[in-house]
Amino acid sequence: MFTKILLFGLFGILFTTTFANEDSGAVLYRHSRNLQKRSSNPSLPKDKYDAILKIYSAPGEIADKDKKADDVSQSYSSTEKQIVERIKNFFHKRADILKKFPQSTTDILKTIRELRKKQKDTHQPINTKMASIVKCLAVLAVVATGVSSQPFRHDPFNPLGPWHKRTLHCGLPRFIHKLPEEYQQKIKAIWADYQDGEECFKELKQTKEIVHSLPTEARHKIFKGMCGPSFLKNASQTVRAEFKKVWFDPNLNIDEKELAFKRLAYSLLSGEALQQFVKWEADLQERKHERNEKIAKLSPAAKAAYDKWMSMRKEEIVFLNSLSTEIRQELRLICGFCGGHKHGSGPGDKEHGSGETTTAAPEGEETKTETEKFFRFHDDALDEFFRRTEEELMDENECSAYFY
C-alpha cells in the first residue's frame, strides 16, 4: 500500500513540475507524440521530436513554422518525414479551430494564460526546498494520499477538464456486453476498421449516439450501480436528488454541505448503503486530517506561498465558472479530447439572467445538465467525492458520456 501511495505521489510531482503551466500547443504536441508511440509506426528520436516541438510551441504564423519544420527535417528519413507531416497536420487543425473563435473567446484564453503565468511567477522566488514542499502539497490535494483506491485523474480547480489527455479511451467500450445484441453489433461495426493509435473522435461520437438512442429507463438500468460514490450506487433518483440539492445550494459553504450530507445519509440511507457511507466518510476524514497535519508543519513562508497559490487557482475557477456554457464549449474545441469535466449552465447563460443558480433537481427525470454536475465539486478539501472507489466500475468520463 505504501508503495502505491509513493508511486502516486511521484507521478503527481512529475505532473506538477512538467505540465502545470505548459502551453496548450505543447500539450497537443505531446498528445500527438503519445498517439505515435501507440501506433505501429516507428517514432522519431527524442532530439528530433524536441526540434519540432520547439518550432510549433513558439509564437508566430503556422506557415512560417511549417517552413522551419521543413528545413529542420530535410535530413530526416522518409519515414520520419511522414511522422513530421502528421504532426504538422495536427497543428494545422488546431490553428483552423482557433481562427473560428470570436474575439471574446480569444480574450478569455488570454486571461487564462495570464492567470497561469501568475501561478508560475509565484513559484519563482521560492527556494528549491520550499518549492518542493509546495508541489508535494499540491499533489496531496489532488491525489488525497491515494489510500485504498486509485487516484482521480483531473484537476478539481479546472472546470474545463484535463487538457493533457483524452476523456475516453479509443476502442470498444467496456460495458458493451451489457447492451442489447442489436446495439452491440452496431457499435462493433463502428470500431471494425479502427487502428490502434489513430484519432477516434468520430467513432466515439457515433458510439455515444447509439448508446443514447436507448430509452432513458433502459440506459439507466444498464449502467445503474456503475457510477458515483459507493453509498449512492444503487440509490433511487429521488435520493440522489436530495443530495444534489445540498451541493447546489449557493447559501451553504463547504463545511455546511458536508454536515448536511451526513444528515441526509442517516435519514435516507439504510442497510449496506448506510454502512458504505460510514466507511466512506471515515476514510475521507482520515485523509483530510493527514493532509492538514502536513500543511500545519509548513514554515510561515511556505504556508503563505501555499495559501497564495491556492487563492490564484480558485480565482481562475471563479472566472471560468462565470462563463456561459457556449463559451466553455468553444474553449473545449482547442483540444477535442477535453471536456470531461462539465458543469452545466453558467451565470452567462440565458436561464441565469436573474443571477440565480440552479439548486434543486426538477421533478421527474433528472436533466442531463444537472446530472452531469452531480459528481463534480470544486473544493480540494472534499475531493474524495470525485475519486473512484473499489466498487466503481466506470470512471467519471465514461459515466458522463454514456450514462447521463
CB 334 within 8 A of CB 164: no
- At 334, the pLDDT band (50, 70, 90 cuts) reads low
Domain co-membership, 258 together with 387: yes
| Domain of residue 67, residue span | 2-100
What was the pLDDT predicted at 302?
92
Domain co-membership, 268 together with 368: yes
Domain co-membership, 81 together with 207: no
Q: Cβ contacts of residue 82 below 8 Å, gap of 6+?
A: 41
Has residue 213 been placed in a domain?
yes
Q: Of 228, 254, 226, which Cα lies nearest the Cα of 239?
A: 228
Domain co-membership, 387 together with 278: yes
Domain co-membership, 292 together with 394: yes
Domain co-membership, 397 together with 253: yes
Has residue 202 been placed in a domain?
yes
Q: Out of 50, 76, 100, pick the residue that ends a domain.
A: 100
94-98, 275-279, 386-390: range with highest mean pLDDT: 275-279
Domain co-membership, 368 together with 237: yes
pLDDT average, residue stretch 105-134: 56
Has residue 208 been placed in a domain?
yes
- At 217, the pLDDT band (50, 70, 90 cuts) reads confident
Dihedral through CA 52, CA 58, CA 62, CA 64, nearest 10?
-80
Domain co-membership, 382 together with 250: yes
Helix, strand, coil percentages for the chain (3-state, nearest 5): 65, 0, 35
Domain co-membership, 228 together with 94: no
| Residue 190 clears pLDDT 80, i.e. is over it | yes
Has residue 159 been placed in a domain?
no
Has residue 133 been placed in a domain?
no
Side chain identity at residue 41, one-letter code: N
| Residue 206 clears pLDDT 50, i.e. is over it | yes
Tens-digit pLDDT profile for residues 35-71: 444 443 445 677 787 788 788 877 778 888 888 888 8
The whole-angstrom separation of Cα 171 and Cα 310 is 38
Number of domains in the chain: 2
Q: Out of 100, 122, 145, pick the residue that ends a domain.
A: 100
Q: What is the mean pLDDT of the chain?
A: 64
Has residue 273 been placed in a domain?
yes
The whole-angstrom separation of Cα 13 and Cα 27 is 17
- At 191, the pLDDT band (50, 70, 90 cuts) reads very high
Which grid coordinates are listed for 181?
445484441
Domain co-membership, 71 together with 210: no
Compute the Cα dihedral for 183, 189, 195, 200 and give only its sign.
negative
Q: Out of 44, 66, 100, pick the residue that ends a domain.
A: 100
Has residue 192 been placed in a domain?
yes
CB neighbours (10 Å) of residue 10?
Answer: 11
Side chain identity at residue 341, one-letter code: H
Tens-digit pLDDT profile for residues 344-388: 344 444 444 333 333 333 334 444 443 333 333 333 433 443 333
Between 77 and 7, the higher pLDDT residue = 77
Domain co-membership, 94 together with 184: no
Has residue 129 been placed in a domain?
no
Which grid coordinates are listed for 211?
448508446
Helix 128-143 vs helix 300-321: angle between axes, to the nearest 10 degrees? 50
Domain co-membership, 248 together with 368: yes
The whole-angstrom separation of Cα 291 and Cα 48 is 42
pLDDT average, residue stretch 294-302: 91
